[in-house]
Each structure stands twice: as structure tokens, then as C-alpha cells.
């Protein structure tokens, strides 16, 4: 066997994307109340394999297109290092095994949502829209919503809460994807992919991405009446960081600002889902965990920005404007938490004058 084959196959599954999908799905499952270990493990294995198959099918279908892009030309399929027939068999095998695990451990409806995610990513986005229209990312963003619905329905019937969080992923996807596409816009142009940063003026891209950021926050706020204090506090803190992460790109449209925005979006979504899921399994500890989140969440974003991750050799803009915001959060949010605890520990007296 070719010693490079495992590495080549691993590259097809896009591990970071699959990991983020597993996080949103798993914490949706926990938000629904959690379940026995067999269900949790079955969901992670089935969801991971099916998401990986979707990514591998995308790589297989796009192998000719990827030859025209600098960032993908040296990948195993476009470079010819990996036989496309082997890649196809691998992708289908992942789907079959993942489906078998899912059907053996999960309700059929949850597996059905996983299949819809594959249909949206491979069928609607990769085959249908990616080469034809800039809205491919918007409509194809529905693929990221289905793991949320799969996770929730693995435990409980579909509810408004799950639909709202699935909509958060849908609203978040354009800002996330177009920040990345801005950095690689010359690659997409060379390959003839009409993503928004290729077909629109830079000022339009900055404005539309900023609208997507705000749309994400508005949709996420719609969950506050259903979620606990931990989610609400995390949304306030991480949402502020989300805005700060995109603020530089909104004003300058530079590549370092786009890189920072892209990585900020990943951390924002993961943080929000973790808070939502944890609230579902430890509701009694909401207040204490919210107090921890006041400090921990800003620290995560500050650590990310100070690390200055890179794309295409472009390091993220560090952004120093977080300092006054973090200081305000640390000073003010504990006061809000104490008032919340006081109001809920001491119920209002009942008016008995008419008894």
C-alpha cells in the first residue's frame, strides 16, 4: 500500500470543517437534554463520517476546478497523486458506514437530517450553484444547519429552539465564507467561481458581510427567551467580540482584517454552541458558569487575536480595540449577574389584598 495514501485520504475529509460541524451537532444534542453514551457516541461517529463523506465528495467533484487555484492545486486529487476512483470509493464508503452507524444508534429522523446536509453541500452547493451564482454560499449554507437539527432530533422532537439555532448557522455562513473568499479571491477568479468577492465591488462585499454579521446576532438573540443565563451572557460577550473581529474588515477591506474576521467567526460559533449545549445538561449551574464565561470568553478571543493565525501567508490583524470592551465587560457584567441572582433568589411578594 502507498504509504502516502492515509495522509491523502485524510486531506479529503477537511478535518477542521468536520470538527466544527461535529461541535454544532453534538452541543445541539446536549442542549436537547443529552442522552445515553451509546447515542452520544453513535451521533459523533455517524455525524463525523457522513460529514467527512460530504467533504470528500466535494473534493472529488471539484478536482478539475481545484487545478486552477494556487491553494488547492497541490492537493492529492488535482495534482494527480491520488486516483479519483479511489477517492470516490472512499467517500461513498464513509457515507455507507456512517449511515449504518447512525441507523443502528439514532432515530431515523436524525440520520435523515445528516443526509439532507450532504444533499445541500454536494448537490445544491458544489454541483448546482458554486460555478453558476454568487448566492451559492448563501443557499449552500443550509448544509451547516442540518447537523444542528440532527443533534436535537437525536434526543427530542424538533422544536423552535433547534430551528433558531440552525438558522444561526445559516445566517453566519456568508460572513464566514466571504471573509475567506476575500483572501483567496484571485484563486476563485482564476477558477471561474463567481463568489461575491469576485463579482462585486469591494465596498459592496464589506457592506454585505457586515449585514451578515448583524443578521447572525439578531437570529442568535431570538434564542434568548428559550435559553438560560449562560447562553445569554455568552452571546453578549462573544457577540461583541464577533463585531470587533469584523470591524476592521468593514472599514478597510484589507486581507489581514479578513483573516482575523474569518478565524473570529469560527470561535464565535463554537463558543455560542458550547454555551447552549452546556445549559441543556447543567441548567442548575447556569449562574456560576455565566460568571466564568464573563472572563473566559473574552480571554479566548484575545488569545486568538494575539496568536495572529494566518491564511495564504497573511497574518491576521491583531486588533487592539478589544481592551476597553473587555475592561467594560469585566467591570459591568458581574454586577448584572449579581442583580440577576438577587432577583431570582428573592421572589416578589404576592398581593393578598383581595383574598
| Domains contained in the chain, CATH given | 1-158 (1.10.357.140), 159-344 (no CATH)
353 — pLDDT class (breaks 50, 70, 90): very low
Q: What is the pLDDT of residue 335?
A: 60
- Residue matched to cell numbers 440532527: 150
User: Over the stretch 151-165, which tens digit does the pLDDT of each residue have?
Assistant: 999 999 999 999 999
Q: What is the mean pLDDT of residues 62-67?
A: 88
| Dist CA 291 CA 302 (whole Å) | 18
Question: Residue 286 pLDDT more than 80?
Answer: no
Q: What is the pLDDT of residue 342?
A: 64
349 — pLDDT class (breaks 50, 70, 90): very low
Q: CA of 284: how far to CAs of 31, 165, 267, in Å?
A: 14, 22, 26
Question: Residue 345 pLDDT more than 80?
Answer: no
> Between 17 and 340, where is the model more confident?
17
Q: What is the pLDDT of residue 88?
A: 95
279 — pLDDT class (breaks 50, 70, 90): confident
3-state secondary structure of 315: strand
Q: What is the pLDDT of residue 330?
A: 56
Please report, rounded to a whole number, the percentage of residues in the chain having pLDDT higher than 70.
89
Q: What is the mean pLDDT of residues 314-334?
A: 63
Q: What is the pLDDT of residue 129?
A: 87
- Contact in structure between 98 and 46 (CB atoms under 8 Å): yes
Please report, rounded to a whole number, the percentage of residues in the chain having pLDDT higher than 90.
60
Question: Residue 355 pLDDT more than 50?
Answer: no
> Between 319 and 119, where is the model more confident?
119
Question: Residue 354 pLDDT more than 60?
Answer: no
Q: What is the pLDDT of residue 333?
A: 54
Q: CA of 107: how far to CAs of 24, 47, 103, 112, 165, in Å?
A: 18, 13, 7, 9, 20
| Dist CA 177 CA 144 (whole Å) | 12
> Between 198 and 319, where is the model more confident?
198
137 — pLDDT class (breaks 50, 70, 90): confident
Q: What is the mean pLDDT of residues 24-35?
A: 93
Amino acid at each position: 500500500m502507498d504509504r502516502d495514501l492515509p495522509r491523502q485520504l485524510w486531506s479529503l475529509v477537511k478535518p477542521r470543517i468536520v470538527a466544527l460541524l461535529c461541535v454544532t451537532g453534538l452541543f445541539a444534542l446536549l442542549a436537547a437534554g443529552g442522552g445515553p453514551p451509546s447515542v452520544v457516541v453513535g451521533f459523533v461517529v455517524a455525524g463525523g463520517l457522513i460529514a467527512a463523506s460530504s467533504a470528500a465528495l466535494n473534493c472529488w467533484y471539484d478536482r478539475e476546478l481545484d487545478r486552477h487555484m494556487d491553494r488547492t492545486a497541490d492537493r492529492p486529487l488535482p495534482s494527480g497523486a491520488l486516483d479519483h476512483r479511489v477517492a470516490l470509493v472512499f467517500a461513498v464508503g464513509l457515507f455507507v458506514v456512517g449511515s449504518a452507524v447512525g441507523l443502528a444508534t439514532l432515530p431515523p429522523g436524525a440520520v435523515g437530517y445528516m443526509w439532507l446536509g450532504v444533499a445541500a453541500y454536494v448537490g445544491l452547493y458544489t454541483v448546482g450553484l458554486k460555478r453558476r451564482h454568487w448566492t451559492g454560499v448563501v443557499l449552500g449554507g443550509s448544509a451547516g444547519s442540518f447537523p444542528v437539527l440532527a443533534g436535537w432530533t437525536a434526543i427530542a422532537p424538533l422544536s423552535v429552539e433547534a430551528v433558531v439555532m440552525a438558522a444561526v448557522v445559516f445566517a453566519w455562513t456568508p460572513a464566514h465564507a466571504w471573509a475567506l473568499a476575500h483572501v483567496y479571491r484571485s484563486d476563485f477568479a482564476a477558477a471561474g467561481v463567481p463568489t461575491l468577492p469576485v463579482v462585486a465591488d469591494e465596498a459592496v462585499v464589506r457592506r454585505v458581510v457586515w449585514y451578515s454579521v448583524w443578521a447572525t446576532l439578531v437570529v442568535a438573540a431570538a434564542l434568548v427567551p428559550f435559553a438560560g443565563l449562560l447562553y445569554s451572557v455568552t452571546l453578549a460577550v462573544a457577540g461583541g467580540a464577533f463585531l470587533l473581529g469584523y470591524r476592521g474588515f468593514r472599514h478597510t477591506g484589507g486581507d489581514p482584517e479578513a483573516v482575523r474576521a474569518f478565524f473570529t467567526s469560527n470561535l464565535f460559533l463554537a463558543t455560542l454552541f458550547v454555551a447552549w449545549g452546556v445549559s441543556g445538561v447543567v441548567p442548575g449551574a447556569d449562574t456560576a458558569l455565566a460568571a466564568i464565561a464573563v472572563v473566559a470568553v473574552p480571554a479566548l478571543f484575545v488569545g486568538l487575536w494575539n496568536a495572529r493565525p494566518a491564511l495564504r501567508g497573511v497574518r491576521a490583524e491583531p486588533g487592539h480595540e478589544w481592551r476597553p470592551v473587555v475592561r467594560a465587560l469585566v467591570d459591568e457584567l458581574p454586577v448584572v449577574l449579581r442583580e440577576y441572582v438577587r432577583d431570582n433568589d428573592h421572589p416578589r411578594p404576592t398581593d393578598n389584598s383581595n383574598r
